[in-house]
């Protein structure tokens, strides 16, 4: 009888596994418009593959991630992303890596999302204040101060950030569950879109005067008049 129960459980798990993997593959870019003529196709969901016999070590490696990056920009951070564009061997493997450098006293990786990947971050140097916000309607803010050796997970698609609250530079490394996770920096996307989003839309959405919205758009490269 116990064997029968085990067999039934095994069959259920197998069926659940087959159902879970029967859906469409996740997108690896923002969109992929269908085209009837394959000769006119430019992109696929991912990259075209070379003959495996032609692959070499250079297709699976990258050097220089130990080098500190410049953080003298407006936000005081620099993200070095190693996705399929930098390491061709990542194609179809569903993973990428990033090094993030933060300037002392407030270096910020500003609020952003990764539409196609969950992020797991480990602090190597410095002290980071990190957090993410859950989806509507709760909008819970889950946050924590991290020290060297601490790890934090940012679930796929949720807005998150990291802030260096120490007087010294900080460094973190992040793994992402996509060969091309994508990044949408909230302020840049909302106030720096091309073409700009209507002043009326942003003023009402953020409950701001249109002059303030116009100022913010200028700060982020928008050109709304």
Tokens at residue 48, please? 């075209």
> Which segment of 44-48, 181-185, 204-208 scores lowest on mean pLDDT?
44-48
What pLDDT is stored for residue 26 in this prediction? 76
Query: Is the distance from CB of 196 to CB of 175 less than 8 angstroms?
Result: no
Tell me the per-residue pLDDT of 81-135, one tens digit each, with 9 for 90 and over: 999 999 999 888 889 999 999 999 999 999 999 999 999 999 999 999 999 999 9
Please determine, for residue 7, whether its predicted confidence score (pLDDT) is greater than 90: no
Q: Which two tokens stand for residue 86?
A: 């930098």
Query: Could you say which DSSP state residue 135 is in?
Result: P
Q: In this structure, are residues 190 and 111 in contact, taking their beta carbons and an 8 Å threshold?
A: no
| Residue among 59, 36, 62, 61 nearest 49 (CA) | 59
pLDDT of res. 60: 94
> Dihedrals φ, ψ of 202, to 5°?
-70, -40
Residues 42-68: what's their mean pLDDT? 86
Q: Are 83 and 90 in contact (CB under 8 A)?
A: yes
The 3-class secondary structure across 32-67, one letter per residue, is: CCCCCCHHHCCCECECCCCCHHHCCHHHHCCCCCCC
Q: Residue 196: its pLDDT value, please?
A: 95
Q: What is the pLDDT of residue 119?
A: 97
Query: What sign does the dihedral 189-67-55-176 (CA atoms) show?
Result: negative
pLDDT for 21: 46
Residue 45: pLDDT band (50, 70, 90) is: low
Position 223 scores a pLDDT of: 64
Average pLDDT over residues 59-85: 96
pLDDT (tens digit per residue) in 188-219: 999 999 999 999 999 999 999 999 999 999 99
Side-chain half-sphere CA neighbours of 12 within 13 A? 6
Average the pLDDT over 131-148 and give the result: 98
- Per-residue pLDDT band for 6 (boundaries 50, 70, 90) equals very low
The answer, as to whether pTM is greater than 0.85, is no
Phi, psi of 6 (to 5 degrees): -65, -40
């Amino acid at each position: 009888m116990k064997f029968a129960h085990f067999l039934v459980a095994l069959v259920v798990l197998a069926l659940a596994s087959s159902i879970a993997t029967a859906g469409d593959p996740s997108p690896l870019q923002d969109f992929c418009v269908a085209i009837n003529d394959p000769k006119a196709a430019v992109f696929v969901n991912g990259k075209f593959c070379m003959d495996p016999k032609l692959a070499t070590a250079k297709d699976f490696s990258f050097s220089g991630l130990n080098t500190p990056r410049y953080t003298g920009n407006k936000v005081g951070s620099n993200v070095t992303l190693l996705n399929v564009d930098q390491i061709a061997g990542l194609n179809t493997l569903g993973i990428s890596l990033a090094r993030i450098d933060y300037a002392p006293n407030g270096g910020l990786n500003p609020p952003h999302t990764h539409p196609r990947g969950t992020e797991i971050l480990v602090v190597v140097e410095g002290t980071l204040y990190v957090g993410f916000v859950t989806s509507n309607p709760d909008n819970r803010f889950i946050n924590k101060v991290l020290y060297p050796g601490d790890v934090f997970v940012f679930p796929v698609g949720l807005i998150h950030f990291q802030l260096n609250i120490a007087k010294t530079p900080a460094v973190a490394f992040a793994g992402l569950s996509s060969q091309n996770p994508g990044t949408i920096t909230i302020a840049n996307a909302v106030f720096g879109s091309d073409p700009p989003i209507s002043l009326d839309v942003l003023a009402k959405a953020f409950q701001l005067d249109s002059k303030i919205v116009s100022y913010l758009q200028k700060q982020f490269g928008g050109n709304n008049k």
